[in-house]
Each structure stands twice: as structure tokens, then as C-alpha cells.
Chain A
Amino acid sequence: MVGGIDLILKIAGVGILVAVLHTILKNAGKDEQGVVVTLAGIAIVFIWVIQLLGSLFEQVKSVFKLF
């Protein structure tokens, strides 16, 4: 078991939060900061997902004796 359901919920939470923040900042006339918030959220989630993917590949490699 690598991450379980909690990682899915975490990613969805970050996604919703970023969407809300983006809308608020846009309505406040701060479009640039909205873009930065979006970028930061995507970077955070991307790091999680890449780590998960790395552990999956390691697992596949050990199960199938690849390389």
C-alpha cells in the first residue's frame, strides 16, 4: 500500500482550494497572483504524484525483476 485514499483526498482538496483562491484573486483584480497560486498548487501536487509514481515503478521493478 503506497498512499491510499488520503492522497486522492489531499489532491482534490488542493485542487478545490486553488480554484477558489484563483477566483477570489481574480475578482480582487490580482490576476498575476492568481496565476502564481495556481502554479504553486500544481507544483505541490506534482511533487506528490511524482513520488508516488517513483515508488510504483520501484515496486514494479522488484516484482518483475526488471533491469
Chain B
Amino acid sequence: MEVLQYVAIGLTAAVLVGVVKVHRPEMAVLLSLAAGVILFSLVLGKIGAVIDVLRELSFKAGINMVYLGTILKIVGIAYIAEFGAQICRDTGEGAVAAKIEFAAKVLIMVLAVPIIVAVLQSLLKLLPL
């Protein structure tokens, strides 16, 4: 029951944020940031195990490793960007959060371009030109 551990960390952090926020709002932001980082990094090891399984499966299926690598990179960018954007939104900086998300979208688009090109090329091969 590892869930209990994570829930306990989250609840403790929430209570402490509530205590600190009254006097020192800026310390409360750092506290919630630390709680988020700790929870995230605790779960990250499990995600790594899942990704190893995915990599093995794609190797057995004979999929080009470039594609899986790109997809994993996109997932990683999405995780990090979402994390930062949520912290910014917590502090009330919705505008900064929107910019972080925009930057992540642009980076993901850049990473996805080779895959789109590959799809178009295989489409062109099918067309009887």
C-alpha cells in the first residue's frame, strides 16, 4: 500500500502550507513546490519501469527506436511543462503558466515533425504517381 505513503506526504504538506501561508505566503509556495517535486520523483521510478517494458515490446515488434524515443521525449516534455505550469498557476501567475505550456507545445511540435514527414513519405509511396 504505497498509496498511503504518498497520500500522507500530500496531506502533511497541505496542512503545513495552510499553517505557513498565513504569515509567509512566499514560503508556502516553496513548500508546495517541494511537496510536488518529492511526490513526482517518488512516482517517476515506477514510470521508468513501465517505459522499460514499452521499449522491450517495441524492440520485439521491430519498431524503429527513433519513433519510440520521440514519443518518450514528448511525454517527458509534457510532464515537466505541466508540473511547472501548475506551480505557476498555484502562485497566481496564470500568464506565466500559459507561456510555459505554449513553449512546451512548440517543442513537442518540433519533435513531431520527423514523424509527420515519415507518415507523408510512406503515403507518397502508396500513391500511384
Contact = CB atoms under 8 A, between A and B. Distances in A.
A1 B76 contact: no
B48 to A, nearest CB: 4
Given A5-B12, A9-B16, A12-B20, A64 B34 contact: no
Contact of A8 (B26, B38, B48, B72): B38
A61 B127 CA distance: 40
A23 B27 CA distance: 15
Interface in A1-42: 1-5, 7-9, 11-12, 14-16, 18-19, 22-23, 38, 41-42
A49 B37 contact: yes
B79 interface: yes
A44 to B, nearest CB: 10
Contact of A2 (B13, B16, B38, B73): B38
B69 to A, nearest CB: 6
30 contacts: A1-B41, A2-B37, A2-B38, A2-B41, A2-B42, A3-B34, A3-B37, A5-B12, A7-B34, A8-B9, A8-B13, A8-B35, A14-B27, A15-B23, A16-B19, A18-B27, A19-B24, A22-B23, A22-B24, A42-B27, A42-B30, A49-B30, A49-B34, A52-B37, A52-B38, A60-B44, A63-B51, A64-B73, A64-B75, A64-B76
Interface of A: 1-5, 7-9, 11-12, 14-16, 18-19, 22-23, 38, 41-42, 45-46, 48-49, 52-53, 55-57, 59-61, 63-66
Given A9-B12, A52-B34, A63-B48, 16 more contacts: A1-B42, A5-B38, A8-B38, A11-B30, A11-B34, A15-B16, A15-B24, A23-B23, A38-B24, A42-B30, A52-B37, A57-B80, A60-B44, A63-B76, A64-B75, A66-B76
